[in-house]
Structure 1
Amino acid sequence: MVAVLPFDDYYLLVTSKSGLYRLSKNDQTPVPWHISIEDELREAIVNRAICAGDSLLLFGTLNSGLFAINKNGVKLWHINRNNGLNNNTVLALYEDRAHTIWAALDNGISNIRTNSPFTFFEPADIQTGLVEDILFFNNSIYIATNQGVYTYNAHANSFIRIPQFDIQSWFIKKFGKQIFVGHNLGTSLIESDQEVPIPKAKTGGMDIKQATINGKNILLESSYTSIYVYTHDESGDWTFSHPIDGFSDLIKNLEIDHAGNIWAGHMYKGVYRLKLDSDLQRVVEMENHLSFDTEQKSTLHSIKVMKLKGRVVFTDGYHFFTFDDIQRKIIPFDLLNHDLPDFADTYRIVHVNDDLFWFIRKTEYALVEFDQNRYSVKDRIPYSILNNPPNEGRANVYVSDYGSSYFCLNGGIGKYKLSDGMLPDKIDLQISSVTYHNRKNDQTVYLDLYKKAIIDFQSNDIGFQFMYPEFSKQIFRVECLLHGYDNRRVKTDDNLYIAYNNLPAGDYIMNAYVFNSSGNELSSVSFSFKIKNPWYKTWWSYLLYFFFIGSVTGLLIKNHIQRIVHKKNKFFTEQENRRIAQIARQEKEITALKNEKLVTDLNYKSKELASATMMLINHSEFLKSLRADIQAYILAAKINRTEGNKLLKMIQKNLSKEDEWAVFQENFDLIHENFFRKLKKRYPSLTPGDLKLCTLLRLNYSSKDIAKLLNISIRGVEAARYRLRKKLQLDESENLVDFMINFR
């Protein structure tokens, strides 16, 4: 016995290998309950069983995963390793409030969302590779992958590769009763699950579309090198007609507008507009659009071409564009740019019906609805919720005749039912904990979530931990608005945690909201709390403040009066000090003036002394010269000796017995700080004549005055100055007079 489950008005007895039994509440005899999958359950060995929801029975097995039946015993689904489980051995089962099933397995836990619009099929026994395209035809499922073309075998519950198709395949499309496959080596047909090559389509087939150009219904195929045309033969089948002349390039995908223009998207050369002649044999018009005239210059490889509601649409990674056949130029697609401003990275659009479209982007499948002439996002399927997302730029969707969408994944396919909502059961955002930090003992304290919290001010660092038990891997975010603190919404971190530090005292309400990737609000939660005033804002502290302020005010008044008295005393003292200082300055100025006058008088007397000395020296030299001349005349008997001696006595009487120049030098040194002594010591080569010139230069005599005093010509003075400069070794730029005046 594995489980006893209450089921309506009876019990269901579940055994591991012996089947199912019904036990009435009024009868003690179990009755076998035969259902369609009882043999499968015996072979799989039932290990766990639970009732889920109102009418679902789940059986976890040891070797075949999980089975689900309704109350009538009809099999609803079977999940195993091939379509989602990590392992086929189910050890435990549990249903949560959102009716999500949790299965404990040998190697982990699986989450089964019974209300999800998704189902996945990923065969574990074969590696199909990246699925590029899907086709449903005559109760068969075909997939074109980067490793070949496969067909689904219901008996084996797996995909089987079609012989000869073991190469990269780009598309698989049905036109009429024919199946076309584009692959690396060209294009082939599938007939009776066998490959039938199309001989003339020898280069890799990338895309194929049915179109009407110049009134002719054709198939148009892009390839690695050319564009091919297919037409109907006599039997009504499509047959290869011819390659189009005048154009040869690698075209990844193409679209044809209502005017018959072929829009060919190159791998990296932008998009071409091709116009064919009336026979569809050759290109008569060709334009190559490398980029569009936008503020953001697009890179060449980012230009994509697709079709929306019969209109050709382009994207350059920044904006949507379309072709205006009146202006005959590409213009911005204003409606899409306005309604879907963030969707310019779309690289493929797949029509579900006239008003629903899959916009395939770099990170998601987005279901877009057209209603009342506006586009809006109805649902989003981020690649992050898929265990095996497609490679970047190579996602695709196939829409069956019944409206279900099939996603091309890496190593499998996924199914999405439009009739099912993405999240039919509402999941509530919850606060798992509110904490604050107690600074006194350095501990984290958890608050009661069911009543308004009152928190001390010293513990005003508050942390909120939220939980949103949604396990579909969808992208969502939680934003918080703390009323009483800030008017801005703030996102939580990746762990749904947010902290507010150093909150001021007051009443607060935390409102938190959870949003999906479309920006729709999914749930909200709130929490109220209060932070008490700090001790310095309580009534008794205000009373203390009153007495303190009164005391301080009295002290301030007293100190103010003392400061006024002190200020006045200081003012009077400063006034007296200024008066004394002024008197001292005046006395100093008087002394300076007296000294200046003395210096002036001294200089004047020095000049008079020098002039007198020079005149006296000149007079003495004149008398000596006259005496020498008289003596010479006496010896030459030119004059009477007696008269001559009388003249010599008169001259001798007027000659000074002292050396006037030596006396002058001694007095001059006393006045001018040993000028001569220092000058002779520093420049011993100076002659008495040089010293006289130095004296007159120090007294600032002009050359004219010097010539008069020395009884020489002005030219002689200049010559003497020149010789003196050489002896003093003065530079040409130095002033001789300044040198003498400043000599110390």
Structure 2
Amino acid sequence: MPEKGVPLIQNYTPVHYQNMGKVWDIKSSESGIVYMAADKGLIEYDGKIWNTFKGSKGFTRSLLLVNDSTIYTGSDLDFGIWRKNRYQAFEYTSLYPFKEDVNDFIEEFWDVHQLNDKIIFVSFQNLYIYKDQQLTRISAPYKFTASFVDHDTLFFVDERDGLLIFDGFSLNQFFNHPVENSLDILGIGQNKQGLVLVTKNSGLYSYSGGKLKVLNNDFSNKLKVAKVFSFEPIGNSYLAFGTVLKGLYITDLKGNIIHHINKHKGLPNSTILSLHYSPAGKLWMGMDYGVSAIDLKNKLTYFYDYTGDFGTAYTALVKDEIFYLGTNQGLYRSRWIDLNNDAEFNRFQLVPGTEGQVWSLMNVDNTLFIGHDQGLFTLKENAVQKISDHHGFWTVLPYQNYLLTGNYKGILIFEKKENIWTFLKKMDLILGSCNQLIIEKENILWVNIPNFGFIRAVLDENLSPEERLIFPAEDFDGNNLYLRKSNDEIQVITDKFQYTYNSTDKKFSDKTKITNDSKLNGLLSVVYQNTNLHADYEFYSIYNGFALKYLRQSEKQNPIKFTLIPKKIEAFNNDEKLLLFPDATVPYDMNHINVEFIVPNQDDVLYQYKFKDGDKWSEWVTDNTFTFLSLKHGSHSLIVRASLHGKITDEKVISFRIATPWYRSWYAYLTYVLLIVLAFYFTRVLQIISLKRQKKLFLIKEKNTLQMQAEKFRNEIVLLEKERIKMEYDQIKEQLKIKTIELANKAKDNEDKNRLLVILKDKCNMVQKDPSTSKIRWNEMQRLLDSYLNVEDKTFEIQMDELHQEFFKKLKENFPGLSSNDLRLCAYLKIGLNSKEIAEILNIQPSSSYISRSRLRKKLSLKTDEDLYDFLNAL
């Protein structure tokens, strides 16, 4: 542990932890999360977020941490257990059965301990043993004033019976109080001589060989004045004492003060109510106002000027075990040993004559050179002497027998004559504010001019640049550029990268990224280089003070274990947020996810992640919260890991599931199937209805069509019937005409016959009267009869021609070669007369009729198998 300076202090006011009141007890888990018992309940702090939980009504005084999910606490008139629910929030359950009892006193439970499988709650009056959900009460012999554990042994301090040891079943006296007074023992430490007893008001006691002795040393006397309120061993080598009046003391086991830290050195106040040393190397303090944490593992320590004693430091030097500090107020000095943090105040003294801004210090030939805003000074044998009135000396560099000094306007050269340094000249060709000068080798000089760049100058024998190389500041990535010579190499350092000069190529070619192992608060950008003060320390300039880095490594340095843990899973959308538990199912309308992981109470941690089904890690980032928008539905497994000081933690996996959207869920698909079935069913029903309607319409239409057709057919039939009737009528009329003609002809024939008969009678009468004329008369009668017969034959033929005029017309159109006799023969054949009947009508032989038929078949081009009768009737 560095002895010089104050370790880094982080202060937290009650506003940080929601004004939960005073913090009476502090514990930390193996993961690094810190838990605190406060007036208004339980506090959880992971290094970034404070969470508070309210339990019992009384002030919470003590806590026992089992793990990050189970905590026991004691409070005023209550004690109980805290358990985390699946949303990672603590819920309190009271175990104290006597809250409703009215007694003469109210039990306050200031301690909770674990002894094997027993949880023990301690008040002034009783101790309660909690095991297997059963409580056993053991009363104090008189009054318990304290209880604590040392090396797995549980001690109780009774106001009357002294120091007691509890074995889990009974209290056994370890030793009684001295006769002269009752010791208010607060805790026990151990060294090679035995036990060291820490009391509240009586300082320190030692116990060895069964004998109790007062430690009358300086530190014990200081504790009597300071009034100890809390005590905590720091590992196996140091002890921490929280006091009411003087703040914090840290000592080794011999009682040597390593650190004395109070309000003058950075604490909010000097009353320390509770102490806890965490595995992460931080000493946590609950104070009268606020909470503080001191990083004891950090090699950086600080000297802040809280009281205005010395200002902001820019340079420092150790010479003859005297520490010299150049600040904006002047040059200060103190003994190197006085930088040890064992005193209440810093011990710096201003060197008279150096008031003002001091930029640099350099020891040349046992003379301290002071680069000052008002000129160049020397300090030798406590005497300050000004050797130049030029303003603003940034740096002093011995070179051969000269001094090269960079100031506001360039480089001034001094030489030593007769043991006195005098101004020689100003270097040519280099102008501007030169705040760094470095010799690369022999006659090669490097110059840093802020906001301009760097110059590499080769000096001639007159100390003038004969060759210059200029490297503009714009060529370097980053801010706060400064020069450094390391292992004979010239390097340019920025806040991001380191560049190395290549003398062969005459350019800065090697660029590497800078990683800082330790975080330095408030580093001044004006000061460009740490200073090696001592074999064990480096100097850094910071705002309102300075810092030292302890270079020596501890002989036995246990590596700090750090654990990556999930803190919170949260789903959200535009309207609301929802805390989740691991393996939770998230509604699809809240498929934006925040996942928070942390390495508790560690600085400079980097985080990265990937999904289980992915093959690429994200970039390393300092943000420990990852946000994922519009995740797809289904199961997701997020893998996260962290990196601290180049070491990578084990991977942590957190799983969750985005619910399937309702329109893709099984019941949605079932609904879709049902809808499809219903749609198909209704479509089918509609189709059937439509088909029925169409069929009905078709039938109606068909019926109408049929009715129309029937009506048309009826009309056609009527028309045909009319036509038939008309034809029949015409035929009948024609037949009537024919018959009328026939009747007329018959009548005429009859008349002619009658007349013929009359004529014949007259002829006969004439013959009778005149026989001589009989022959004449007979010939006349013969001629008259022949004439009548010829007329009658032609009449029949005329009648046949008149009856078959249409038939004859068709035959003449189709067969123009037919004669009138052929036409008459066709008519006879059509009406069904056979050859014999035709022969009789034509007064010919039947054979002639057969011959006429054969001739007719040839004229009609009929084949032998075609019937002549059917052919004629088909026309």
Q: TM-score range by the shorter chain?
A: 0.5 to 0.7
Q: CA offsets per residue over residues 656-710 of structure 1, 9 Å max, x none?
A: xxxxxxxxxxxxxxxxxxxxxxxxxxxxxxxxxxxxxxxxxxxxxxxxxxxxxxx
Q: Shift of the alpha carbon at 1:432?
A: 2.5
- Per the alignment, residue 273 of structure 2 pairs with 91
- Per the alignment, residue 398 of structure 1 pairs with 531
Q: CA offsets per residue over residues 518-573 of structure 1, 9 Å max, x none?
A: 7764565322334454566566665555454455457678999989x99xxxxxxx
Question: In the aligned structure 2, how far is the partner of 1:56 from the partner of 1:15?
Answer: 17
Task: Give matches, 1:390-539, under 5 Å.
Answer: 390-420=523-553, 424-436=559-571, 444-447=578-581, 452-454=583-585, 460=591, 462-470=593-601, 474-484=603-613, 489=618, 496-500=624-628, 502-515=630-643, 521=648, 524-531=651-658, 533=660
Q: Shift of the alpha carbon at 1:488?
A: 5.9
Q: Which of 107, 126, 145 is residue 308 of structure 2 equivalent to? A: 126
> Structure 1 pair 324/479, CA: closer, same or farther in 2 (3 Å)?
closer
Q: Give the conservation status (yes or no) of the 8 Å contact 1:4–1:12.
A: no
Q: Give the conservation status (yes or no) of the 8 Å contact 1:52–1:95.
A: yes
Q: Give the conservation status (yes or no) of the 8 Å contact 1:47–1:61.
A: yes
Question: In the aligned structure 2, how far is the partner of 1:220 from the partner of 1:263?
Answer: 12
- Per the alignment, residue 190 of structure 1 pairs with 379
* Equivalent position SS for 1:158: coil
1:136 correspondence with 2:318: yes
1:172 correspondence with 2:301: no
Q: CA offsets per residue over residues 377-402 of structure 1, 9 Å max, x none?
A: 4x34445xx2xx14333254121331
- Per the alignment, residue 198 of structure 2 pairs with 14
Question: In the aligned structure 1, how far is the partner of 2:250 from the partner of 2:563?
Answer: 27
Q: Which of 237, 257, 263 is residue 446 of structure 2 equivalent to? A: 263
- Per the alignment, residue 311 of structure 1 pairs with 489
Q: Give the conservation status (yes or no) of the 8 Å contact 1:130–1:146.
A: yes
Q: Which amino acid aligns with 1:507?
A: S
> Structure 1 pair 161/506, CA: closer, same or farther in 2 (3 Å)?
same
How many residue pairs are counted as aligned between the two chains? Answer: 499
> Structure 1 pair 224/116, CA: closer, same or farther in 2 (3 Å)?
closer
Q: Shift of the alpha carbon at 1:233?
A: 6.5
Deviates more, 1:103-112 or 1:496-505: 496-505
> Structure 1 pair 534/62, CA: closer, same or farther in 2 (3 Å)?
same
Q: Shift of the alpha carbon at 1:149?
A: 0.6
Question: In the aligned structure 2, how far is the partner of 1:301 from the partner of 1:514?
Answer: 28
Q: Give the conservation status (yes or no) of the 8 Å contact 1:53–1:99.
A: no
Q: CA offsets per residue over residues 599-635 of structure 1, 9 Å max, x none?
A: xxxxxxxxxxxxxxxxxxxxxxxxxxxxxxxxxxxxx
> Structure 1 pair 476/453, CA: closer, same or farther in 2 (3 Å)?
same
Question: In the aligned structure 2, how far is the partner of 1:412 from the partner of 1:444?
Answer: 47
* Equivalent position SS for 1:166: coil
Question: In the aligned structure 1, how far is the partner of 2:227 from the partner of 2:187?
Answer: 18
Question: In the aligned structure 1, how far is the partner of 2:445 from the partner of 2:596?
Answer: 57
Runs (5+) with no aligned partner, structure 2? 1-182, 695-875
Larger Rg: 2
Question: In the aligned structure 1, how far is the partner of 2:559 from the partner of 2:330?
Answer: 38
Q: Shift of the alpha carbon at 1:115?
A: 1.7
Question: In the aligned structure 2, how far is the partner of 1:78 from the partner of 1:482?
Answer: 49
Q: CA offsets per residue over residues 634-665 of structure 1, 9 Å max, x none?
A: xxxxxxxxxxxxxxxxxxxxxxxxxxxxxxxx
Q: Give the conservation status (yes or no) of the 8 Å contact 1:147–1:168.
A: yes
Q: Give the conservation status (yes or no) of the 8 Å contact 1:133–1:396.
A: no
Q: Give the conservation status (yes or no) of the 8 Å contact 1:268–1:300.
A: no
- Per the alignment, residue 472 of structure 2 pairs with 291
* Equivalent position SS for 1:251: coil
> Structure 1 pair 173/560, CA: closer, same or farther in 2 (3 Å)?
farther
Q: Shift of the alpha carbon at 1:194?
A: 3.3
Q: Shift of the alpha carbon at 1:413?
A: 2.1
- Per the alignment, residue 787 of structure 2 pairs with none
Question: In the aligned structure 1, how far is the partner of 2:294 from the partner of 2:479?
Answer: 40
Q: CA offsets per residue over residues 471-495 of structure 1, 9 Å max, x none?
A: 6xx444433434358956388896x
Q: Give the conservation status (yes or no) of the 8 Å contact 1:397–1:405.
A: yes
Q: Shift of the alpha carbon at 1:120?
A: 1.5
> Structure 1 pair 95/485, CA: closer, same or farther in 2 (3 Å)?
same
> Structure 1 pair 542/301, CA: closer, same or farther in 2 (3 Å)?
closer
TM-score, with length taken from structure 1? 0.57
Q: Give the conservation status (yes or no) of the 8 Å contact 1:84–1:120.
A: no
Question: In the aligned structure 2, how far is the partner of 1:152 from the partner of 1:68?
Answer: 23
Q: Shift of the alpha carbon at 1:49?
A: 1.7
Q: Which amino acid aligns with 1:258?
A: K
Task: Give matches, 1:516-665, under 5 Å.
Answer: 521=648, 524-531=651-658, 533=660, 542=669, 545-546=672-673, 548-550=675-677, 552=679
Q: Shift of the alpha carbon at 1:458?
A: 6.4
- Per the alignment, residue 862 of structure 2 pairs with none
> Structure 1 pair 269/68, CA: closer, same or farther in 2 (3 Å)?
closer
> Structure 1 pair 226/129, CA: closer, same or farther in 2 (3 Å)?
same
Question: In the aligned structure 1, how far is the partner of 2:622 from the partner of 2:439?
Answer: 48
Q: Shift of the alpha carbon at 1:93?
A: 1.9
TM-score, with length taken from structure 2? 0.49
Q: Give the conservation status (yes or no) of the 8 Å contact 2:443–2:460.
A: no
> Structure 1 pair 23/509, CA: closer, same or farther in 2 (3 Å)?
farther
Q: Give the conservation status (yes or no) of the 8 Å contact 1:505–1:532.
A: yes
Q: Shift of the alpha carbon at 1:209?
A: 2.0
Question: In the aligned structure 1, how far is the partner of 2:213 from the partner of 2:498?
Answer: 66
Q: Shift of the alpha carbon at 1:143?
A: 0.8
> Structure 1 pair 498/52, CA: closer, same or farther in 2 (3 Å)?
same
- Per the alignment, residue 392 of structure 2 pairs with 204
Q: Which has the higher strand share?
A: 2
Q: Which has the higher contact order (CA 8 A, sep 6+)?
A: 2
Question: In the aligned structure 1, how far is the partner of 2:478 from the partner of 2:613?
Answer: 52
Q: Give the conservation status (yes or no) of the 8 Å contact 2:478–2:496.
A: no
> Structure 1 pair 175/493, CA: closer, same or farther in 2 (3 Å)?
closer
Q: Give the conservation status (yes or no) of the 8 Å contact 1:185–1:204.
A: yes
Q: Give the conservation status (yes or no) of the 8 Å contact 1:117–1:420.
A: no
Q: Shift of the alpha carbon at 1:148?
A: 0.7
Identity of paired residues, percent? 20
* Equivalent position SS for 1:507: strand
- Per the alignment, residue 437 of structure 2 pairs with 254
- Per the alignment, residue 662 of structure 1 pairs with none
Question: In the aligned structure 1, how far is the partner of 2:532 from the partner of 2:679?
Answer: 86
- Per the alignment, residue 509 of structure 2 pairs with 334
Q: Which amino acid aligns with 1:413?
A: F
1:45 correspondence with 2:227: yes
Deviates more, 1:414-423 or 1:127-136: 414-423
Q: Which amino acid aligns with 1:508?
A: H
